[in-house]
Homo-oligomer: A and B are copies of this chain.
Amino acid sequence: MSPEEFRRQGHAAIDWIADYWAGLDDLPVLSQVAPGAVRRSMPTAPPEEGEPFDALLGDLDEIVLPGLTHWQHPRFFAYFPANSSPAAILGDLISSGIGAQGMIWATSPAVTEVEQVVVDWLAQALGLPEQFRLTDHGRGGGVIQDTASTATFTALLAALHSASGGQARESGVGSTRWTVYGSSQAHSSLVKAAMMAGLGAECVRSVEVDPRTQAMDVTALERLLADDIDDGCRPLFVLAAVGTTSTGAIDDVQAIAEALDGVDAWLHVDAAWAGVAAVCPELRDRLLSGVHLAQSIVTNPHKWMLTTFDCSVLWVQERTALTNALSITPEYLRNPASESGAVVDYRDWHPQLGRRFRALKLWSVLRTYGLAGIRAHIREGVELAAHFADLVVDDDRFELVTERSLSLVVFRLVEGDEATLAAMHRLNESGLAYLSHTVVEGRTAMRLAVGSWRTTRADVDATWAALQAL
């Protein structure tokens, strides 16, 4: 592709996206294709000769679009949003053009340093305690990871390294009976992390939740900890969920930290979805109270904060716990510059070696929207969800299952589980909107998660009207 051809086709790709967005309103949110349909519409072998990029754009419309469930659709309410905003897309596009690898500082210094600055900006924007920031004399810092699953796994490895006095990375997890804790509503990535770290799923204790709030029952945690310690286990890692997937429940981080007093366990805050909402001062206390007592926290700008996937930010209070757990640089290559924070080699902050210049898209979002714009976006999601919750409360046929959490509403038909599921399926199949389901205390419920940058009050109202009509 010549430079001129790249310009022409690049402009066409940008226009394709703008047209795709403009037409989304008229497309069914949920794809209705049968398994294998997309596969069968593609050739079974790769082409021998190249063809113009236009051909691909044509096939996108014909083959790909019918097979897509449209995550950027204004009435996509099923999972937490995966905002891909114009600013982030263009920042990430520039990253592709630069095509630099930032595995260590030296392989392209700006990749590392822009990331250091923007994750620090984000820490400030959210009001995270100072000790998580990468300051010249501090011991903390943040890093962009791909997903919160990876961040939680990484935090678990750092915890293992610290608790084992460095033995885990050399000799393995050994015969110590490590135990890991999260509420029954904690994200499944906690169990997956324990499986991957060689601890096994059985080491994960599922802590009961308060039936009403769905937040961790801290008394139950204390009981489990005491029992496990009596039993010869070694509590290693506790995950506090700030915004669970199912209902948006928020664990009491402060109380959990207090329960861990005297127990040498790592406290990790999984605020994957909800954490970014701390950009609004009026929401901050609810989300971050007690976070200064945690060793690590993760939140995903790639969910609600307008930053194209992947962009999950993990902060730690002791960056050496991460780097010592994951660095494969031999001892004799360690240097004061790295350890002072003057130079950070981010490949030691996550499982992967290679890493893309992801900071550009986050930089672009923070600058293009500004904090004021990001706050307005978050508030809009919260307000639309509050409006929807009001509609639910005002209709006797429906009920809230849990209190609205930020931009998430969990509700059901009073009639029961079957009616609830049936209504949701009919709505989803109509293509007008897309909701997902969950089970809370044995009862089936629908989830409506607002937060797309394209959703308006009219979208929420149309969805409600359709549900009522069903």
Tell me the A residues contacting B by CB distance below 8 Å.
Answer: 1, 3, 5-7, 9-11, 13-18, 20-22, 31, 33, 35-39, 42, 45-53, 55-57, 60, 63-72, 79, 82-94, 96-101, 105-111, 113-114, 116-118, 121-122, 124-125, 146-147, 149-150, 153, 157, 160, 167-173, 175, 187-189, 191-192, 195-203, 245-246, 302, 308-310, 325-326, 328-332, 337, 340, 342-343, 351-354, 356, 363-364, 366-373, 436-439, 447
Contact = CB atoms under 8 A, between A and B. Distances in A.
A49 to B, nearest CB: 4
Chain A interface secondary structure, helix, strand, loop or mixed?
helix
Contacts of A367: 46-47, 50-51, 55-56
15 contacts: A37-B109, A46-B124, A49-B373, A50-B368, A53-B368, A56-B368, A69-B109, A83-B99, A89-B96, A168-B195, A173-B198, A173-B200, A191-B328, A196-B326, A197-B197
Given A96-B308, A332-B437, A370 B68 contact: no
Contacts of A87: 1, 53
Contacts of A343: 35
A13 B13 CA distance: 12
- In the A-B complex, the 10 residue pairs with the closest CB atoms: A198-B198, A67-B110, A84-B99, A17-B97, A172-B200, A10-B14, A50-B370, A46-B121, A38-B113, A1-B86
B196 A157 contact: yes
Contacts of A173: 172-173, 198, 200
A458 to B, nearest CB: 18
A60 B200 CA distance: 46
A19 to B, nearest CB: 9
A352 B55 CA distance: 32
B84 A97 contact: yes
B49 A117 contact: no
A13 to B, nearest CB: 5
A162 to B, nearest CB: 14
Contacts of A72: 97-100
B309 A153 contact: no
B68 A108 contact: yes
Contacts of A97: 13, 16-17, 20-21, 72, 84, 89
A201 B164 CA distance: 14
Given A68-B111, A71-B101, A170-B200, A1 B368 contact: yes
Given A50-B369, A196-B196, 4 more contacts: A10-B89, A17-B96, A31-B110, A47-B366
Given A96-B308, A189-B353, A371 B7 contact: no
Contacts of A201: 169-170
A60 to B, nearest CB: 7
Given A47-B371, A107-B79, A332-B438, A69 B168 contact: no
A125 B45 CA distance: 8
A193 B121 CA distance: 32
A107 B326 CA distance: 33
B332 A436 contact: yes
Contacts of A330: 187-188, 245
